[in-house]
């Protein structure tokens, strides 16, 4: 399991769910993982799990909506490991869930700050380093909500739609300069976010039974594979975990018909 040996990977939203599972999977594949999230204690716990399994990781508290914090994240990573090879923009929130006229404008704007502006902050902070070394990979976590509106999710859908276009714009600018940029939709996964969604009772996603949700290990496996050279030809693409060809290449089982 050394496909990512000595690769330095920054992962935001790494304290739980898809982020925590991905951090562990990256380390299993030999990567040096920098775990970032607002909850420093949870991040440190995941990092400790990795170290106990002879992996290499450290945790940093970081609010992606604060550019100075994200810039410090990149600087601390370079100071610690000497470089950065990949950035996975995974941090995201679902709230506020509700009809537009009932949502709190401050909470709505906070969603955009985390889900969209936070992704921009990560890209903005890491690109100068990537350009200087002539290589690097950026993976932005996308969603089906970027392309299909869902009742009660106006902020989340708008933010993820913005991430989709930001991914394309970054690929257009950075691709010719040797930077691989991808969007990845992980599907409906059994995480704490889904607990909030089910509790809301709004739209069809909230009605999905927990038994139908994918384990976090699925997108974790896919993300680890996307960080390898085997996925280089997918640069510039918006990828979905539900795509059969993609699943096969990433080493995932075929979805039932």
Q: Identify the active-site residue in 81, 120, 131, 156.
A: 156
| Active-site residue, 156 included | yes
Q: What is the DSSP string of the chain?
A: --TTTT-EEEEES-SSHHHHHHHHHHHHTT-EEEEEES-HHHHHHHHHHHHHTT-EEEEEE--TT-HHHHHHHHHHHHHHHS---EEEE-----PPPS-GGGS-HHHHHHHHIIIIIHHHHHHHHHHHHHHHHT-EEEEEE--GGGTS--TT-HHHHHHHHHHHHHHHHHHHHHGGGTEEEEEEE--SB-SHHHHHHHHHT-TGGGGS-GGGSBPTHHHHHHHHHHTSGGGGGGTT-EEETT-HHHHHHHTPPPPP-
Catalytic residues: 156
């Amino acid at each position: 399991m050394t496909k990512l040996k000595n690769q330095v990977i920054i992962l935001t939203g790494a304290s739980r769910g898809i982020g925590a599972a991905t951090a562990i999977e990256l380390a299993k594949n030999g990567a040096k993982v920098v775990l970032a999230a607002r909850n420093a204690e949870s991040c440190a716990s995941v990092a400790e799990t990795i170290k106990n399994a002879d992996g290499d990781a450290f945790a940093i508290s970081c609010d992606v909506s604060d550019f100075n914090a994200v810039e410090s994240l990149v600087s601390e990573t370079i100071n610690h490991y000497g470089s950065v090879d990949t950035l996975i923009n995974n941090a995201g929130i679902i709230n506020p869930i509700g009809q537009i006229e009932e949502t709190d404008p401050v909470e709505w704007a906070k969603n955009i700050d985390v889900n969209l502006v936070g992704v921009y902050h990560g890209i903005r902070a890491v690109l100068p380093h990537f350009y200087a070394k002539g290589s690097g990979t950026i993976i932005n976590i996308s969603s089906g909500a970027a392309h299909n509106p869902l009742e009660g999710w106006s902020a989340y859908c708008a933010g993820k739609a913005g991430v989709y276009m930001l991914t394309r714009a970054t690929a257009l600018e950075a691709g010719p300069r040797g930077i691989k940029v991808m969007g990845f939709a992980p599907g409906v996964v059994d995480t704490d976010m889904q607990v909030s969604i089910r509790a809301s009772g709004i739209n069809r996603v909230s009605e999905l039974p927990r038994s139908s949700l994918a384990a976090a290990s699925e997108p974790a496996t896919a993300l680890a594979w996307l960080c390898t050279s085997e996925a280089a030809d997918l640069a510039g693409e918006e990828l979905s975990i539900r795509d059969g060809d993609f699943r096969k290449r990433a080493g995932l089982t075929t979805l039932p018909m």
